[in-house]
Structure 1
Amino acid sequence: MTAGIFRVCLVVVTAIINHPILFPWENATIPENEEEIIHKMRAHQEKLQLEQLRLEEEVARMEKEKEALKQDAEDGQQQNEGRLAWDLWSTLCMIVFLMIELWRQDYLDGIPPDSPGEEDDLPSPRTTFQGIILPDKVTLSHFYERCIRGTTGDAVRTREFVEGFVDDLLEALRSVCNRDSDMEVEDFIGVGSMYENWRVDKPLLCDLFVPFTPPEPYRFRPEVWCLSKSVPLDLQGYGQIKVGWLNEDSVGCICGKTKLGEDLLCLLHSKNKMGSSSEMEDLLCFKDSPFLDMDQVMKWFQTALTRAWQQISHKYEFDLAFGHLDTPGSLKIKFRSGKFIPFNLIPVVQCEDSDLYFVSHFPRGRPVGAPASSTHWFLSFAVYERHFLKMITKALPENSCHLSCLQIASFLLTKQNRLTGVSGLNSYHLKTALLHLLLARSASDWGSGHLESRLNDLLRFLEKSLLEKKLYHFFVGNQKVPATMGIPELFRRAEPLNLFCPFVLQRSLYQKTVDSFYEMLKNASTLISEYSLHVPVDHSSSHQKRTLS
């Protein structure tokens, strides 16, 4: 480029020199002052040389800038290529590490222990709580004999006393209710740990279902979650109850379809449309809907119990009070000596002709993940669970250890909750894990001498379920449950119900539950030793702790 500029300058100089005005050749006369002309030409030549030098410097500067820009572009391209290669390498490494982690979990954990349809439901032997120390067989047996077995006699006496009183209370409740317009209360049904003979926590607490039905011409029409293909996770395990007409498939209010007598009160609407606001509001259904409302049912039940107790209170030398205002069925018998006996009366609705019941409220607090809607009722399998344990006990060896395992685990969980607060793990999860293990192991494995091994199995099962966030309901979608149990086919063929689903949605709750579980295992040895007080001298040499493996 420099050579080109130089050629252009040379042409310009030549043109100037040969310009006819400045330097005439033809018919020209030599100027008189030749030296002056030569001086001007030299000055002009010097000026051109200076201009040429300036142009060359400008061209050189432009060339350097161009080279610098080119170098910067090359460096930027190399840097981008390096960054792209690094990002690609990082992505590949992440994918490889993720595949290795997934393979490791599958290899270590194996098949989920409670997945329906699998052949082996036992927990993998590799799934252990490393470094956790649990009491040995001698300590466990001594603890059970000293601290748990003695509560059996108290439980029987408590059940008999509570049942006798509740019979009288419900009979009084029927007498104060209007048989033509009010709910009809049936006999109670005992459920839960007190009736399955594994409750250890004191005070001993009886849970009693009280089924109720509407008067004619009404009926309850349950709608369970598994009838729909797509149900939100928080509604699985729940259902709604419509109040409809007994002899019609329609579920709307029958006020306009039949003429009600003056003494007959519609369950959906007040009979006096011109009355006060309290008379106009819905009685037992959610406002402007045919669905039975738990809040309305609880108010009705609380009022009915209060009126019933007023009828029979003169017959007893104790007082009856509500244990918790937010759970009206939580009652407490208070003696003059200061002692008390708590029990729970829970109004429920039967699901068709089965032993399934929709529960109106939870005596021990609202479970984690329960829907906020007051028209969605929890479907309880408590009666079937009681029947299954009674049936399986007949097939197990005499003095089998299955309930002992559940009692010890429940004891540890209760004490841990008092130390660190309630977590997402509860006694129902413990019982569900035990039910799965009862089907997975042979009857001979549950002899009284296998208490330590079966307790380890139960805790391993819970640990594995927590890590996988999967603990399936024992009856829903479980084809291994004997058909003789009479579980409705709709629930046998339903999709398995994961009881640990809330842990998937609530990470903080899950972390707290896992931490509490491992803390419970670490404290197990100390708690059992403290409550055992003394170990027989003959076995003092064997009083050692072992790490699970």
Structure 2
Amino acid sequence: MDSWVFWFLLVQSVIQFPQHVGDGLDEVTHLRMEERAKLQEQKKIQLEREVEQIVLMQGGTSWGHLLWPALQPLQVWPFAGLLVLLLAVWFMWRKRSREAESSDEEKKEKEDEEEEEEEEETWAYDLRWLLDERIQWPVQDLQTGCKRTMALIDNFTSVIGRALTGTFYPVLQQAIGFGSAFEGWTSREEEVVYRVLIPLTPPLGHTFHVERDGDPQKPGRNFRVRVELECSCPRQHQGANPLCFLHHADEVRRRTRQSNLLDSLCTGFYLDVQKTVLWFCALVRASWRRLPQSRSWHLVLLGSTRSCNLRLNNDQESFLVKVLFGVQRHASDIFITSRTRGARTPSIMWPETYAIAETKFFRHMARRVPQDSSHLKCLQLLACVLARKDFSIHSVKTIIMRLLNTVPVSRWHRRYFLLQLSDALEQLRLSLEEKHLEHFILGNQRLPDEIRLPQDVRRAKPPNLFHGLVQDPATHSLAMQTYFDLHHRLARVLAYGHL
């Protein structure tokens, strides 16, 4: 309050201070000015007393109402200007104070963000060091191996296909790579095997009919490929075509000097796996020198009754290719193939496989997950430390596929590697305890649309991959012990980088 009184008196003194006059004024004017000065001095003294009385007052009357009668007869505009100036200075001071406080808060937030970023960078560096440098991963270049394999098999099918033109042997379609190597992961405990499927279609004058094997004693879904001769005569003149196998089989043999498919690669009316494999291996031996790979690689055919196994090596490296044969079901990603099922698989049995659909699922997810995804690292680490004799790696792969199909794709970034590894182990533990793990492809209604399934596969009841644990308590106990050993082996890998 004293400051306001001071400023008020200062303004009044500026307004009412008597002005100097020149020496040339007359005496009357001089006397009038002295009287006016005395009068103003008396008013000033009186006003000062009134102001002092106001200061001593304790009532609630506002300053504005008390000063206004005193100011009204005076010139108030200079005072108002000074007041506006003071208010402007006060607002500027408040604004700068708030800006300083805001700047301090922003600086503190920025420092906190920088600390969090430093912590994330430190964590990312530690995890990158763990995944890229600490853990000893398999050293194979899978992408190069897959490209090399497909180039080799494509050359084989191209050369053999030209040689089979006009014959009555199965027609070789474009090969399809599948399995772990083509999915981007592998186990270090064994040599990488590049698996390839060559689809077969019937030759001219023949048809394939896929029949389900209903024997409940045989595991899985198994089929047979029934081969039938097809009439190639004009519709209105059956039997008019002398090269129709159905009506003139002997004439066709005489003219072409070739037998039909029933006579060459079938047992009875059904396509024989072993005969088909031997036929293809013979063609591989005969056509190898025509391939450009023969100039830099040495080819060895390994014995097998249900697949054609090729080992190629040179002075620096070697790789193994396993060729299977199959028949496509209803233009889908499901095939019946020559793969082995059990110790004694009948030669006319073609087990149904879902490996092509699984590989297609991994390729689909590779386009959706972050570029630095951890799902393949997670799967490969588990495959590397798992004791394969106790339960199948395919069970672990099934769990990873189920997590990929349910967990948001953003959660597969490298920073969540340990979290996803923990989730996979927990799902494995629950499945082992419950002795239940459903097949991922068979009966799955939530697959991506690009994976094509026959209706009977889509509507089938998913089989339990751990069905054997239900029937054999000893096997279940061993599987649980394997799980605990897996935990121990993972801890060693994460701690020391190797088993």
TM-score by length of 1: 0.58
Using the TM superposition, give the Cα deviation of residue 344 of structure 1 relative to its aligned residue in structure 2, in angstroms: 1.6
Give the equivalent residue in structure 2 for 1:308: 287
Which of residues 193, 199, 224 is equivalent to 2:186? Answer: 199
- Aligned: 1:458 with 2:424: yes
Aligned to 2:200: 212
Determine the C-alpha separation between the residues in 2 that align with 1:192 and 1:233: 27
Whether 1:518 and 2:499 are equivalent positions in the alignment is: no
SS of residue in 2 equivalent to 1:424: coil
Deviation at 1:468, TM superposition (A): 2.7
User: Structure 1 residues 258 and 139 mapped into 2: Cα distance closer, same or farther (>3 Å)?
Assistant: farther
Q: Over aligned residue pairs, what C-alpha RMSD do you find?
A: 3.3
Greater mean deviation of Cα atoms: 389-398 or 489-498: 389-398
1:409 is aligned to 382
- Classify 1:312/1:397 alpha carbon distance in 2 versus 1 (closer, same or farther; 3 Å): closer
Q: 1:510 to 1:284 in 2, by over 3 A?
A: farther
Asked whether the equivalents of residues 233 and 501 of structure 1 are also in contact (C-alpha less than 8 Å), the reply is no
Match of 2:391 among 424, 433, 447: 424
Q: Is the 1:476–1:492 Cα contact (8 Å) retained in structure 2? A: yes
Alignment of 1:46-445 (within 5 A): 141-146=128-133, 154-177=141-164, 179-201=166-188, 203-224=191-212, 232=216, 234-246=218-230, 257-260=247-250, 261-262=252-253, 263-269=257-263, 283-286=264-267, 289-312=268-291, 315-326=294-305, 328-337=307-316, 339-362=317-340, 372-413=345-386, 416-417=387-388, 422-426=389-393, 428-445=394-411
| Alignment partners' CA distance in 2, 1:518 and 1:482 | 34
Distance 1:483 1:447, change over 3 A: same
Tell me how far 1:233 sits from its aligned partner. 5.9
Distance in 1 (alpha carbons) for counterparts of 2:207 and 2:489: 52
Segment drifting more, 254-263 vs 172-181: 254-263
Match of 1:236, SS state, is coil
Change (3 A) 1:505 1:240: farther
Checking the alignment, whether the CA contact within 8 Å between 1:187 and 1:211 is kept in structure 2 is yes
Distance in 1 between residues matched to 2:411 and 2:217, nearest whole Å? 36
SS at match of 1:265: coil
Provide the residue aligned with 2:414 in structure 1.
448
Measured at CA, do residues 148 and 300 of structure 1 come closer, stay the same or move farther in structure 2, by a change above 3 Å?
A: farther
The CA distance in 2 between the partners of 1:504 and 1:372, in whole Å, is 25
Unaligned runs of 5+ in 1: 1-135, 249-253, 270-282, 534-549
Q: 1:514 to 1:392 in 2, by over 3 A?
A: same
What amino acid maps onto 1:356 in structure 2? Answer: I
Q: Deviations over 1:371-425 (max 9, x none)?
A: 7333322222223222322323333334222222111111112xx34xxxx2332
Which among 438, 444, 447 is matched to residue 472 of structure 1? 438
Contact 2:229/2:245 (<8 A) preserved = no
* Alpha-carbon distance in structure 2 between the residues aligned to 1:194 and 1:137: 27
Check whether the contact 1:173–1:307 (CA below 8 A) recurs between aligned residues: no
CA offsets per residue over residues 238-289 of structure 1, 9 Å max, x none? 22221123469xxxxx9764435122312223xxxxxxxxxxxxx4233xx3
Question: Aligned with 2:391: secondary structure?
Answer: coil
Aligned mates of 2:448, 2:231 — CA distance in 1: 35
Separation (CA, whole Å) in 2 of partners of 1:448 and 1:144: 9
Q: Kindly provide the amino acid, as one letter, of the partner of residue 425 in structure 1.
A: S
Distance 1:264 1:208 in 2: 29
From the superposition, tell whether residues 484 and 353 of structure 1 become closer, same or farther in structure 2 (CA, over 3 Å). closer
Partner of 1:491: 457
Instruction: After superposition, give the CA deviation of every residue in 1:184-224 in whole Å (9 maximum; x if it has no partner).
Output: 21221111222222235364332111112231111221134
Q: Quick one: distance in 1 between partners of 2:216 and 2:247?
A: 35
In the alignment, residue 489 of structure 1 is paired with which amino acid?
Q
User: Which amino acid counterpart does residue 290 of structure 1 have in structure 2?
Assistant: F
C-alpha change, 1:258 and 1:510, in structure 2 (3 Å) is: farther
AA in 2 matched with 1:285 = C
Q: Which residue of structure 1 aligns with residue 77 of structure 2?
A: none
What SS class does the counterpart of residue 211 from structure 1 fall into? strand
Match of 1:96 in 2: none
SS at match of 2:370: coil
The 2-side partners of 1:503 and 1:293 are apart by 34
Instruction: Provide the C-alpha distance between the structure 2 equivalents of 1:199 and 1:377, rounded to a whole number of angstroms.
Output: 26
What is the CA–CA distance in structure 2 between the aligned matches of 1:522 and 1:137, rounded to whole Å? 24
The alpha-carbon deviation at position 297 of structure 1 amounts to: 1.9
Structure 1 residues 440 and 314, CA gap change in structure 2 (3 angstroms): closer
8 Å CA contact 1:144, 1:408 repeated in 2: no
CA contact (8 A) 2:127 2:415 kept: no
- What's the % identity of the aligned pairs? 22
Q: 1:481 aligns with which of 413, 422, 447?
A: 447
What secondary structure does 1:268 align onto? helix
By how many angstroms is 1:493 displaced? 1.0
Which structure 2 residue ranges, 5 or more long, are not aligned?
A: 1-122, 233-243
Task: Give the Cα–Cα distance (whole angstroms) in 1 for the partners of residues 369 and 200 of structure 2.
Answer: 36
Which structure has the bigger radius of gyration? 2
Which stretch of the first structure deviates more once superposed, 212-221 or 484-493?
484-493
User: Which letter maps to 1:424?
Assistant: F
CA separation of 1:373/1:505 partners in 2, compared to 1, >3 Å: closer, same or farther?
farther
For the residues of structure 2 that align with 1:479 and 1:306, how far apart are their CA atoms?
44
Change (3 A) 1:149 1:155: farther
Q: Give, as a single letter, the amino acid of the residue that structure 2 aligns with 1:481.
A: L
Contact 1:402 1:446 in 2 (8 A): yes
| Counterpart residue type for residue 207 of structure 2 | R
- Name 1:12's counterpart in structure 2: none
Query: Matched residue pairs, number?
Result: 361
Which of 1 and 2 has higher RCO (CA within 8 Å, sep 6+)? 1
Deviation of 1:330 after TM superposition, in Å, equals: 1.7
1:241 counterpart SS class: strand
Amino acid at match of 2:437: L
Change (3 A) 1:188 1:311: same
Which one-letter code corresponds to 2:488 in the other structure? K
Q: In the TM superposition, what whole-angstrom CA distance separates every residue of 1:458-486 from its partner, at most 9, and x where no partner exists?
A: 12222222333322111211222244433
C-alpha displacement at 1:332, in angstroms? 0.8
| AA of the residue aligned to 1:360 | S
